[in-house]
Structure 1
Amino acid sequence: MGTAERQEAPGSGVESAGSTAPRHRAARVHDIPAASDMPSGRGAAREEPYQPLWVEEPARRRRLPDPVRTSAVRAVLIIAVTLLQAMVAFLCTLAGSWLAFPMVLSSVASTVVATWGALDVWVTRQVWNQRHGVVSTPSSTARALRRERRKARRQARVAERTQERIRRQGGGTGQLSHP
């Protein structure tokens, strides 16, 4: 009903506008009858203010581009497996198990792969930024300089077209006016 909720004044039978207590808003939104709408009419005895379950907050940072996010997820999974292998290798070494040596070798190999995964995230991010441009806010000075350069190029093109038009109209003799 807009910004001002309407509710019945107790005992008056008249609706009043401007009340800020959205008493039955959540229930009515989902087509669930509110307690006061029930046939017994016992719901108005205890009134609790409506509180949302969560409050939407704007994201603090922009979402990563898809290729960068994919490589980051891949790197996190590889690093998690590497840490797991290192832990198993350590525990096998403490237990004196025959599995300790193969686990240490695979942990070393996984460490190399995890390093590659972290570098892959960095390289993918750099490539994406280079191809698609970095989202940034240029300073007003840079913006003004670009604007001046565009204006100068535009004026140079207009002057060149005008000179070309004059040459074509003059018949190529170089005269600017009639004799």
Structure 2
Amino acid sequence: MGTAERQEAPTAGEAAHLTARRDPEAPDRDIPTDDGGAGPGEQAAVREPAQEQSYYRPLWVEEPARRRRMPDPVRTAAVRAVLIIAVTLVQAVVAFLCTLAGSWLAFPMVLSSVASTVVATWGALDVWVTRQVWNQRNGVVSAPSSTARALRRERRKARRQARAAERAQERIRRRGGAGQLSHP
């Protein structure tokens, strides 16, 4: 006799007792229990805790991203490189299998695998170069001590001061010189 045959199904009263003692952090806590042939009084007693526990629980919880999203040109280059590398790996496997089988297709596949390896290397370098160019043009914003960030801050401050000085001059011009001291 196996363990499944030795185990007896719990009666309705035992099922209610087991349901009440279930861990509230159980993953199936919002699934209503089927209490079989329990009487009307017992059904209400069993369903009340299930109804209290049933609440909306989302399938997943959104977490903030740990890293910033890659810029579009860099992401495009990365996708292109991954596709080229995948095709290169498939060609290499086909070339290997054709060589083992002694097929006439082995030699052309080896040549195309070599050419594809060169293109895949170019694709990987393209990702790196595109990333460097993007960082150089737009500044590195990921590090708080970034020199690009400090330069932008200084430029904004200078622009603010220039606008404030221009507004002050415009105010003086509108008043027609009123408000200026007659002598220094």
> TM-score by structure 2 length?
0.52
Q: CA deviation at 1:132?
A: 1.2
Structure 2 residue 122 is the aligned partner of structure 1 residue 116: yes
Q: Report sequence identity in percent.
A: 75
Specify the SS of the correspondent of 1:46: helix
Q: Residues 125 and 52 of structure 1: is their aligned pair in 2 closer, same or farther, counting only changes over 3 Å?
A: same
Q: CA deviation at 1:44?
A: 2.4
Q: Determine which structure has the larger helix proportion and give its number.
A: 2
Give the whole-Å Cα distance in 2 for the aligned partners of 1:116 and 1:83: 15
Give the whole-Å Cα distance in 2 for the aligned partners of 1:114 and 1:131: 26
Specify the SS of the correspondent of 1:64: coil
In structure 2, the partner of 1:65 is: 71
Specify the SS of the correspondent of 1:98: coil
Equivalent pairs counted in the alignment come to 141
Q: How does 1:1-179 map to 2 (within 5 A)?
A: 43-44=47-48, 46-47=50-51, 49=53, 51-139=57-145
Q: CA deviation at 1:138?
A: 4.0
Q: CA deviation at 1:45?
A: 5.2
Is there any run of 5+ residues in structure 2 with no aligned partner, and where?
A: 1-23, 25-29, 33-42, 170-182
Q: Determine which structure has the larger strand proportion and give its number.
A: 1
Specify the SS of the correspondent of 2:68: coil
Is there any run of 5+ residues in structure 1 with no aligned partner, and where?
A: 1-20, 22-26, 28-33, 35-39, 162-176
In structure 1, the partner of 2:14 is: none
Q: Which runs of 4+ in 1 moved over 4 A?
A: 40-43
> TM-score by structure 1 length?
0.54
Q: CA deviation at 1:48?
A: 6.9
Q: CA deviation at 1:130?
A: 1.3
Give the whole-Å Cα distance in 2 for the aligned partners of 1:104 and 1:65: 36
- Alignment-mate amino acid for residue 67 of structure 2: R
Give the whole-Å Cα distance in 2 for the aligned partners of 1:52 and 1:136: 32
RCO higher in 1 or 2 (8 Å CA, sep ≥ 6)? 2
Give the whole-Å Cα distance in 2 for the aligned partners of 1:136 and 1:59: 13
Q: CA deviation at 1:55?
A: 2.0
Q: CA deviation at 1:47?
A: 4.6
